[in-house]
Amino acid sequence: MDRMEILKLAFSKTNNGREALELAREMEAFIKGSPPAPRWVAETITAMSEPQIQAPARPANYRRSWTPEELARLLQLMQEGKTIVQICEIMGRSHNSIETAIDRLNRGEYVTPAQQVNAGTFPGHTS
């Protein structure tokens, strides 16, 4: 049985080209009497030769809490008419982070240090 016959047989037994080639290699190794390489070896070699997709870079302030100064800057940028994309670039925050901060500001969840002192909740402040 020559290589072409092996390949034709492998293609008749599988649904895609990659599986057919792998099966043909295994069949050829069996006919020659040499043990075939385990499938994980072929998969590893294939994966190493394929370009790896890089995860997008995280913003500079990824997962950092908002400081009162940053919230004031956010409000200032919004009043200047900056878009969310521009604010993301300026502040080093993700789009989701900016939208969440704006939403929380609108709901009153974020307060300024002066409001915290007046409410008696500012750390280190005693009434």
What is the Cα–Cα distance from 16 to 24, expressed in whole angstroms? 12
- Domain residues for 37? 3-49
Segment 16-61, tens digit of pLDDT: 888 888 888 887 777 777 665 666 556 655 666 666 667 678 888 8
Segment 54-106, tens digit of pLDDT: 767 888 888 888 888 898 899 899 999 999 999 999 999 999 999 999 888 88
Domain assignment present for residue 29? The answer is: yes
What is the Cα–Cα distance from 52 to 112, expressed in whole angstroms? 45
Domain assignment present for residue 126? The answer is: no
Domain assignment present for residue 112? The answer is: yes
Domain assignment present for residue 25? The answer is: yes
What is the Cα–Cα distance from 90 to 67, expressed in whole angstroms? 15
